[in-house]
Structure formats: C-alpha cells, structure tokens
C-alpha cells in the first residue's frame, strides 16, 4: 500500500518497539500472575496495536503473525484458555519472532521463514485446541458481481432508530446520486403516525427507487454499508429497457464516470481497457493513442511555458530529492522528546534573544560608567547559556529503564538454562541518562548480569546448605550521585574468593608472590585481560574474556567500574558513568604557564605533602606516603617538558587521581578552579598524545588539554617521561 502514510513508518517502528517491550515484559510478569486480567488486556492491546498499524503499511507478514498471537491472547483474556508455561513460552518465542520480522522490514534483512511458519502453526494449533474458536475469517459476503447491468431497483426500509446512530437517509441519497442517476423515487409514508404521535428521532419512511449507474452491485451495496444489516434492503439489477449499446448518451456518461473514478486506487478499469474489451476500439488503436500521450515536461516545453534547461533542472532536483529520501530512510536514529522539554527550550531561546538585544542596545551607546550594567547583562547571558545547555542536554536524556527492560527476559532464560532460581529486582529505572551512553552500556550490563547469574549465584542446593533462601537475587539499581550516574549490579551469591584470585594472579605473573595488596587492588584483577577464575568454561560466561571488555567499554564512556564483595555473601559491581559524553566536569590546573583540565570524576583529593613524605625508591621512581599507602608521583612538568614554578613537592600541589582502582599522585603548580568543558577529540583534529584525553577551548580562547589519567598511570608504570 503505497501512499502518504509511508512518512509515518519510522514512528510506527518506534511505537512497535515499545509495544513489543510491553508484550515481552507483560508475558514475563504473566508467569508469576497468570490470572491478572489487567495485564492480559495490556498485552493484548499492544499486540492489537502492532497488528493494526502494521497492516496500514502493508507489512502483511507482521500483521498476519500478530493476528495469530492476538487470537491466542484473546482466548487467554476471555478465560477460554489458561496461561500455562508452555503457552507463555510460545508467546515469548513469538514475540522474538515478531521482533525479527520487524527488523526484517525495517532493514530489509532476511527473515527465517521456517521459524515464522513453525510458530504460526504452533500458535494456530494451540488456539484451535479450544475447538470452536479457531480463527477463521469469514469470506466477504458480497460475491464479485458480474459486469454492471446499468440499473438497479432498490427497496429500502431503514431501521427506526437510524437517527440515533448519527445516520441520515439524506446521506445515503447523496451518495447514490454521486455514483449514478436516481429515478422513480417513491416514499412510503404509510407508517407515519399522526403528528401528535410523531417521535422526531424515529424514522418512519421507506423508499423504492431506481438507480442508473455504471457502478457494480458491490459498490451500490457499499453505499448502504452502515445500515444494511439493520435495514430491509433489496437491490436488484434490472436491464434498462432501451440499452442502446453503441454510441448512445448513457455510454458516454458511463465513460466519464469511469474516467473520474480512475483516480481512486482500487477503482474500476480504465476507459481504454473497457473500450478494448467491448470491442469498440482495437488494442492497436489504443496503444497508438496512448503513445501520443506526452510527459508534463514535454508539454510545457512545447507550450513554451518552460525551457528545456528548467525542466532538466527540475528533473535533477527530483532525482536528488529521491536519493535524499532514500538515504534518510537508511539511517535515522530518532529520539522521542517530551513536548514540555521543547517548550521550555523555546522559552529559554526567547530569553536569550532578549538578553542579546539588551546587550547590543547597550553597545550602541556605551559609556564607561555603565560597566556594572554590562557585567550584569553578561551574567544574565551566562545564566541563559548554561540553562539552554542543560536543557539541550536533557533532550538527549532517556530513562535507563529502556536498557533495563531486556533483563527480566534474560534472567528468566538464564535461570532456566542454569537450573537456578533467580529473582531479579530492578530499581531506579526512571533515572535519565544520555541516549548514547544508554546504548553503549547495554552490552556491559548484560555481561555483568550473566556473570552474576552464572558465577555469582550458587545452585539452589548449595544455597540451602549455606542457610540462604533457595532463590538468589540479582539487583539492578540506577541512581544519581553528584554529576554522575551510578548503576549497581548486585547479587547475593558466593562472592569473590580473594585467595583464589590472588593465587591465579600470582600464577599469571600479574602480581608478585607475597605482595601485600588491599582489597581494592585484588578484586579489580578479575578485570585484567585474560583473567578468569571460573573453574570450568561454561556455556554462558567466563571464557576468560568478559570483565576486561566490560571495563574497557565503561572506561571508553568515561566511566569507572568498582567491585565490592563479601565472600559467601555476594558481590556488587558499581558502574559510575558521566551524564553525557560531550561535556565533563573538570578541574583546571596550572603547570608553569600551561593550563590543563583534570576530569573531576578521577580526582580523589589534593594535598600539599610534607617534605619527608616523598621518597625515591630504586626501580620504582618517586613515591609518596599518603596515610600509609605509597603512590607513584608524576611530575607533570616532566611529562610535558614544561618549566614549572615549583620543583619541590612540598611547595607544589599533589592531586591524587584514581582510575581502575589504581592511584597516582600528579604534581601541579596551582589549582585554578572548576568548570564544565566541552571535549574535542585530539585524534580527529591532531593525533593521539599519551596522557592527553582531549582538548577544549578555555574561557580566554586558548586551548586547554584534558589529562588522561589512565595514560598518566601508564607513564608512571613505564617511568619514561614523554615528550609532548
């Protein structure tokens, strides 16, 4: 069905994805509460919406498949069938299949027809199991009529309550006149009571009439579509007394009729076809006539309404527009934004415009005495800008629930596969996060949840032996903390085994035997590449890859992963993520005459050490004793070859930075302040520089570099200063 509805396809895909999520989530809940009618209704409505809308775009495979699901859901809803695990499973599989079908039409991807077929059959079989309610769509009652006879005798007695449904006989007549010519119209008023007895809302009349038309019986019947079932109606085709088959007036009228209705999509045949069929015109004559038809452009040129160049240009524009439309279709990632957010933004832009005009007004007649006014206006501008920035950012914010929604299903399937009992608890789903971040954390989160289910939680027997409830719990929780989003993945399983990790790390040469390591140093070892303590490689997770990838992905987003665990009690992974990728909260610092920015996220504290706290250890470089823990010291001026103000740590300032659970002390001259900075990529504009994460434009217009804490740690480890 190609029509102007196509522009709504993207909206449909988005809506359908939401409905699919509702169906899936609903089905999972249904397993716990099989008799919840509200839930069933909700699932049914979503399936129904998908079916209805997909049909509108001609996605028949989706519509048909959803129809089968809907049939089964309807049986469940009406209590004719009960939700069994088998049915729930079938419906879940069907939802998956529906997703694939949806992807199929969206991206033109191939779909495994066998799966669709198998599930369709299964759905139909389960639904039909009930017997009488197998989904058989009744054949459309009106059979295709033979060629039009030209006239119909119509006898119509409408139901008395016609008006009460907003129907009006006049409408019917109007419609009949539109498709033909009415004659011999007789009104039967015999049922009309005395004026006293007349109820103005009742229809007492009935009619007989003749309709001369080229329309088919079906078309005439369709005029009465909304009243037919409740009326006494007979429509009989009659042969017109003097048909005059050739060249008569009626024929001409018919041709015109057909010509006008040609525009409608399923309209009758074209005049040409009819003429050829009736033998009035030969096929060759028709083709000759058609070949003389010209394109709009040619006619316009002939009539000198346009030059050939203009037409050529217009055609080119048309081709470009087509290509652009095609390209646009190929990839649009869209985002749904609350209109309130946009309204607010428009308001703010309005305020910005006012501030701007106030400033330019001030500029035209500025005197030095007005400096305070100028400063006031600039402060206002700053407020406007910051607020607009925040609002624009908030447009990209979507609730993290969209990333969480896949887990109920995942955990259910995992529990089945592993033979464990797992309760999943989600909280903080409404916490908003940048859309790109949400998209990027999906995989790491999945990995953590899989790990928790597979390695974290014990088998039911093991749990019972340890006086734990049989069912394990995995909690996913999201919340704001400072300018960051924290997501925790918590399980109440066996916890990490410190000794086992340490032993393995020693074996792999990651740490030296007998080294005294803090918990914060031991547990992150599992996130080193190639590190896995799972005794055997399981189907689900723990092939020795995984945690390092999780860590890398999260860090690529500017976030951190930390681990808290109590042996035998459980493990919690905490992901700390920036609200957005484009802007970070940074601390501006000075070394010599250069300004750098340190991400706030990685700053633990800043100290001014006592002279004796910094020591040089052979083979390890400089170390500083911070409350009993020795941290490597990096002199930033050494790294970037600068001339510093202070070379004595006791006079300078040491920033204690942390990343990946490792700490380092970075020596700087001065802390300037705190500000939000927009990150510009170094790789894209210059080349990668170790120790630098990116650049930004500072308030005075100069370029400031953003320090890469991990890079600095690498430098500290190698002990080789880099030339900038």
Applying CB under 8 A, the residues found at the interface with other proteins are 1, 3-5, 8, 11-12, 15, 41-42, 44-45, 48-49, 51-53, 55-58, 63, 67, 135, 137-138, 163-168, 170-171, 174-175, 223, 225-226, 229-230, 264-265
Neighbours of 274 (CB within 10 A): 17
Q: Give the nearest distance from C-beta 517 to other proteins in angstroms.
A: 56
Q: Enter the tokens of residue 205.
A: 């009349």
Closer to other proteins by CB, 73 or 577: give it: 73
d(CA 556, CA 443): 13
Torsion angle of the four alpha carbons 26, 442, 548, 559, in this order, in degrees rounded to the nearest 10? -130
d(CA 114, CA 274): 43
d(CA 331, CA 312): 29
Q: Give the nearest distance from C-beta 142 to other proteins in angstroms.
A: 14
Closer to other proteins by CB, 12 or 531: give it: 12
Closer to other proteins by CB, 168 or 277: give it: 168
Closer to other proteins by CB, 60 or 361: give it: 60
Q: Enter the tokens of residue 449.
A: 């949840």
d(CA 15, CA 40): 19
Q: Give the nearest distance from C-beta 49 to other proteins in angstroms.
A: 4
Closer to other proteins by CB, 12 or 65: give it: 12
Q: Give the nearest distance from C-beta 145 to other proteins in angstroms.
A: 19
Phi, psi for residue 565 in degrees, rounded to 5? -150, 145
Closer to other proteins by CB, 222 or 405: give it: 222
Return the residue matching tokens 């074996």: 507
Closer to other proteins by CB, 204 or 226: give it: 226
Closer to other proteins by CB, 13 or 573: give it: 13
Give one DSSP letter per residue of 579-642, joined into a string.
S-SSEEEEEEEEETTEEEEEEGGGEEEEE---GGGEEEETTTEEEEEETTEEEEEEEHHHHTT-
Q: Give the nearest distance from C-beta 227 to other proteins in angstroms.
A: 9
Q: Give the nearest distance from C-beta 205 to other proteins in angstroms.
A: 17
Rounded to whole angstroms, what are the CA distances from 248 to 212, 244, 254? Answer: 14, 6, 10
d(CA 275, CA 74): 50
d(CA 717, CA 720): 8
Q: Give the nearest distance from C-beta 231 to other proteins in angstroms.
A: 12
d(CA 388, CA 355): 13
Q: Give the nearest distance from C-beta 427 to other proteins in angstroms.
A: 25
User: Would you mind telling me the total number of residues written for the chain in this entry?
Assistant: 724
d(CA 684, CA 682): 5
d(CA 644, CA 51): 70
Q: Give the nearest distance from C-beta 14 to other proteins in angstroms.
A: 8
Q: Give the nearest distance from C-beta 295 to other proteins in angstroms.
A: 25
Q: Give the nearest distance from C-beta 40 to other proteins in angstroms.
A: 13
Closer to other proteins by CB, 63 or 636: give it: 63
d(CA 471, CA 473): 7
d(CA 310, CA 307): 5
Q: Give the nearest distance from C-beta 1 to other proteins in angstroms.
A: 6
**Helix (H/G/I), strand (E/B), else coil: 114:** helix
Q: Enter the tokens of residue 448.
A: 């953590």
d(CA 230, CA 227): 5
Q: Give the nearest distance from C-beta 55 to other proteins in angstroms.
A: 3
Q: Give the nearest distance from C-beta 148 to other proteins in angstroms.
A: 19
Closer to other proteins by CB, 12 or 404: give it: 12
Closer to other proteins by CB, 163 or 207: give it: 163
Q: Give the residue from 184, 200, 183 showing the smallest Cα distance to 192.
A: 200
d(CA 153, CA 212): 9
Closer to other proteins by CB, 229 or 284: give it: 229
Q: Enter the tokens of residue 668.
A: 């700087």
Closer to other proteins by CB, 56 or 722: give it: 56
Closer to other proteins by CB, 5 or 567: give it: 5
d(CA 664, CA 655): 8
Q: Give the residue from 48, 43, 16 showing the smallest Cα distance to 27.
A: 43
704 neighbors 694 (Cβ within 8 angstroms): no
Closer to other proteins by CB, 229 or 683: give it: 229
Closer to other proteins by CB, 111 or 167: give it: 167
673: left (phi over 0), alpha (psi -120 to 50) or beta: left
Q: Give the nearest distance from C-beta 149 to other proteins in angstroms.
A: 23
Q: Give the nearest distance from C-beta 225 to other proteins in angstroms.
A: 7
Name the maximum alpha-carbon separation found in the chain. Answer: 122
Return all residues near 656 (Cβ < 8 A) that are at least 6 apart.
Answer: 603, 604, 605, 606, 607, 626, 631, 663, 664, 665
Bridge partner residues of 474 (DSSP): 424, 491
Give one DSSP letter per residue of 708-724, joined into a string.
-HHHHHHHHHHT-PPP-
Q: Give the nearest distance from C-beta 13 to other proteins in angstroms.
A: 9
Closer to other proteins by CB, 58 or 495: give it: 58
Distance between terminal CA atoms of the chain? Answer: 62
């Amino acid at each position: 069905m190609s029509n102007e509805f196509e522009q709504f396809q993207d909206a449909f895909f988005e809506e359908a994805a939401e409905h699919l999520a509702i169906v899936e989530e609903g089905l999972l809940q249904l397993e716990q509460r099989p008799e919840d009618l509200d839930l069933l209704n909700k699932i049914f409505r979503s399936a129904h919406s998908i079916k209805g809308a997909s049909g509108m775009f001609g996605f028949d495979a989706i519509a048909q498949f959803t129809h089968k699901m809907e049939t089964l859901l309807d049986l469940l809803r009406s209590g004719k069938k009960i939700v069994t695990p088998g049915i729930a499973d079938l419906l879940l599989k069907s939802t998956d299949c529906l997703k694939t079908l949806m992807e199929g039409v969206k991206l033109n991807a191939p779909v495994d027809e066998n799966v669709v077929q198998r599930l369709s059959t299964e759905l139909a079989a389960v639904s039909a199991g009930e017997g009488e309610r197998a989904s058989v769509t009744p054949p459309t009652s009106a059979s295709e009529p033979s060629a039009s006879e030209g006239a119909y005798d119509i006898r119509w007695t409408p139901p008395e309550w016609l008006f009460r449904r907003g129907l009006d006989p006049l409408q019917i007549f109007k419609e009949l006149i539109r498709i033909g010519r009415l004659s011999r119209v007789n009104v039967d008023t015999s049922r009309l009571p005395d004026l006293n007895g007349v109820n103005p809302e009742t229809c007492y009349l009935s009619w007989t009439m003749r309709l001369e038309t080229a329309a088919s019986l079906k078309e005439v019947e369709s005029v009465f579509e909304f009243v037919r079932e409740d009326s006494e109606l007979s429509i009989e085709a009659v042969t017109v007394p003097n048909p005059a088959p050739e060249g008569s007036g009626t024929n001409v009228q018919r041709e015109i009729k057909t010509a006008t209705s040609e525009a409608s999509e399923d309209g009758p045949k074209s005049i040409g076809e009819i003429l050829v069929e009736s033998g009035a015109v030969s096929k060759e004559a028709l083709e000759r006539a058609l070949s003389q038809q010209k394109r709009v452009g040619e006619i316009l040129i002939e009539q000198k309404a346009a030059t050939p160049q203009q037409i050529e240009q217009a055609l080119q524009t048309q081709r470009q527009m087509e290509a652009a439309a095609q390209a646009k279709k190929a990839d649009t990632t869209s985002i749904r934004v609350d209109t309130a957010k946009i309204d607010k933004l428009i308001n703010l832009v309005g305020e910005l415009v006012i501030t701007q005009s106030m400033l330019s007004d001030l500029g035209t007649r500025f005197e030095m005495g007005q400096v305070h006014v100028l400063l006031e206006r600039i402060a206002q501008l700053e407020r406007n800008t910051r607020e607009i920035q925040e609002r624009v950012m908030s447009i990209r914010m979507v609730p993290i629930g969209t990333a969480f929604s896949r887990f109920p299903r995942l955990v259910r399937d995992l529990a089945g596969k592993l033979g464990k009992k797992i309760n999943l608890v989600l909280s903080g789903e409404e916490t908003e996060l940048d859309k790109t971040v949400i998209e990027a954390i999906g995989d790491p989160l999945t990995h953590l949840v899989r790990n928790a289910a597979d390695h974290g939680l014990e088998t039911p027997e093991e749990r019972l032996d340890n006086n734990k409830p049989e069912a394990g719990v995995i909690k996913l929780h999201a919340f704001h903390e400072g300018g960051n989003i924290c997501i925790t993945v918590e399980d109440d399983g066996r916890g990490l085994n410190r000794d086992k990790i340490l032993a393995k790390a020693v074996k792999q040469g990651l740490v030296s035997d007998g080294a005294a390591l803090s918990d914060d140093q031991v547990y992150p070892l599992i996130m080193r590449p190639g590190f896995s303590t799972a005794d055997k490689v399981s189907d689900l997770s723990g092939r020795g890859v995984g945690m390092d990838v999780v860590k890398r992905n999260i860090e690529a987003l500017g976030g951190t992963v930390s681990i808290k665990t109590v042996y035998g009690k459980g493990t919690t992974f905490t992901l700390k993520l920036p609200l957005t990728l484009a802007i970070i909260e940074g601390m501006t610092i000075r070394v010599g005459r250069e300004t750098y920015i340190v991400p706030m996220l990685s700053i633990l504290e800043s100290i001014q050490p006592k002279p004796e706290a910094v020591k040089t250890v052979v083979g390890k470089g400089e170390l500083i004793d911070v409350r009993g823990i020795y941290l490597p010291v990096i002199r930033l001026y050494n790294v970037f070859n600068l001339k510093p103000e202070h070379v004595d740590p006791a006079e300078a300032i040491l920033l204690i930075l942390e990343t990946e659970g490792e700490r380092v002390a970075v020596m700087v001259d001065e802390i300037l302040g705190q500000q939000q900075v927009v990150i510009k990529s170094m790789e894209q504009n210059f080349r990668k520089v170790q120790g630098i994460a990116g650049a930004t434009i500072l308030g005075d217009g100069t370029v400031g570099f953003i320090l890469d804490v991990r890079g600095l740690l690498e430098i500290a480890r190698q002990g080789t200063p880099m030339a900038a």
